[in-house]
Amino acid sequence: MLRRNVNNKERINGNADIKTSNNITKAQSNLRNINAELQNATKYSTHRLWTRAVIATSLMVVVYFYSQQRHSKETKFALAKEKLPLRIEKFECSNGYKAEISRYPNCVPKKCGRFVSDQLVEHDEVEVLLDLASKILSMAGSSGGASVLNLHTGALSYKEQFVNAYRVPKVVAELKQYQLGIYNSVKNKIKEAIAEQFEIPASSLYLTDPTFFSRLTNATAKTMNDEYWHEHVDKDTYESFHYTSLLYLNTYQKDYRGGRFIFIDGNDDNPTKSAIEPKKARVSAFTSGAENLHHVEQVIEGERYAITISFTCDPDQAIPDLQIKNYN
Ligand SMILES: O=C(O)CCC(=O)C(=O)O
Ligand SMILES: [Fe+2]
């Protein structure tokens, strides 16, 4: 009996064991199902998170580009990679310019405007002028970012002031007749081109002061003269100017980074930019009134060389050509 009971017990125990092991298997399979569901749910929510992140990022990118465009709509007036015979744009003169220039009837442009030409001045001529400017400016130069050499007045940047270049013997020794001859002849070609494009006689245009070489770098400004990047109207900065021209002596992205010339057009609510990328032997010229508000972007790296050659219609503001007979 005892044995039977024991046997029964064993059977019962055996049955219980089987049941328990069934239960364990079931529980394990439930656990696996739960695990699988959990994994699915995690996968699904990770997927959802990614989708949301991608959508949010795309939206942010679209909003950013849209706002950038609104604030700095820019057209390229002249790219460095282009070789332009002539690109010209004409528009109405500003009222102030019109009123002032009307005192010189022969000099009034049919329309105001701006042009760029890469075929007015020869590369060989520019080489000579660049060599002259870089040699002299390397003997002196501003301790800030903008150095100038004005061969008409002799003004030469030196540290935080100006010295008279004609009183520095090693500077004078650098000046050669042929260089100054090229300087004068380049100036004349540009004057003729301005007269032709703005439909006025060349005889009504006179070279005026300041006309100067410039070297711009990224050095920290030490004086106001070093802050070359501010927006300005040439006629406000230099009263005698009626037509401004620039001859670039070296090339954006090749010799330096930054330093593009930017016209600011449109109005305060909707300003637009028109960019000129300077390049060797490129001439840019424009009427000097408020119709041609502009600035130079800060140079990021390298040295940017140019000559600002300025013209007036007022004979009283004229300056003579460089005298070359005193040099070797
Ligand atoms: O160097 C330039 O491109 C322009 C300089 C300028 O705006 C100026 O001399 O008035
Ligand atoms: Fe200017």
The encoded tokens of residue 259 equal 């330093």
Q: Measured in angstroms, how far is the CA atom of residue 103 from the centroid of ligand 2?
A: 23
Residue 26 lies in a domain: yes
Ranges 16-20, 22-26, 108-112, 311-315: which has the least confidence: 16-20
Which pLDDT score is estimated for 43? 60
CATH number of the structural domain spanning residue 293: 2.60.120.620
In the chain, % of residues over pLDDT 70: 81
What is the pLDDT averaged over residues 46-74? 68
Looking at 71, 102, 127, the residue that finishes a domain is 71
Residue 173 lies in a domain: yes
Q: Measured in angstroms, how far is the CA atom of residue 328 from the centroid of ligand 2?
A: 33
| Full residue range of the structural domain in which residue 102 is found | 74-317
Coil vs helix vs strand at 130: helix
Supply angle C-alpha 169, 175, 179, rounded to 5: 175
Q: Measured in angstroms, how far is the CA atom of residue 272 from the centroid of ligand 1?
A: 19
Residue 12 lies in a domain: yes
pLDDT-derived band of residue 49, with 50, 70 and 90 as boundaries? confident
User: Are the CB atoms for 247 and 126 separated by under 8 Å?
Assistant: yes
- Strand-pair partners of 147: 215
Does residue 115 sit in the same domain as residue 149?
yes
Q: At residue 244, does pLDDT exceed 60?
A: yes
Residue 323 lies in a domain: no
Atom index in ligand 1 nearest the CA of residue 214 equals 1
Q: Please state the domain count of the chain.
A: 2
Does residue 155 sit in the same domain as residue 284?
yes
Q: Which residues line ligand 1 (CB under 6 A)?
A: 214, 234, 246, 261, 294, 296, 306, 308
Supply the DSSP symbol for 92. Answer: P
Q: Helices 123-139 and 177-198 meet at what angle, rounded to 10?
A: 120
**Residue 215 among the catalytic residues:** no
Q: Name the one residue in this structure whose structure tokens are 């699915």.
A: 40
Q: Name the one residue in this structure whose structure tokens are 């690109």.
A: 87
Does residue 133 sit in the same domain as residue 242?
yes
User: Are the CB atoms for 112 and 92 separated by under 8 Å?
Assistant: yes
| Distance from C-alpha of 25 to C-alpha of 37, rounded to nearest angstrom | 18
132 versus 9: the higher-pLDDT residue is: 132
Does residue 188 sit in the same domain as residue 254?
yes
26 versus 4: the higher-pLDDT residue is: 26
Looking at 55, 71, 87, the residue that finishes a domain is 71
Does residue 42 sit in the same domain as residue 89?
no
| Distance from C-alpha of 38 to C-alpha of 195, rounded to nearest angstrom | 82
Q: Among the options 114, 215, 282, 304, which is catalytic?
A: 304
Does residue 246 sit in the same domain as residue 201?
yes
Does residue 253 sit in the same domain as residue 202?
yes
Mutate to test the pocket of ligand 1, among 296, 303, 304, 305 (most ligand atoms within 8 A of CB): 296
**256: CB partners within 8 A, 6+ apart:** 216, 217, 250, 299, 300, 301, 302, 303, 304
Does residue 14 sit in the same domain as residue 82?
no
pTM for the whole structure? 0.80
Helix, strand, coil shares of the chain, percent, nearest 5, are 45, 25, 30
Does residue 25 sit in the same domain as residue 163?
no
Looking at 39, 71, 103, the residue that finishes a domain is 71
Residue 156 lies in a domain: yes
Span between the terminal Cα atoms of the chain, in Å = 141
The encoded tokens of residue 111 equal 């329309």
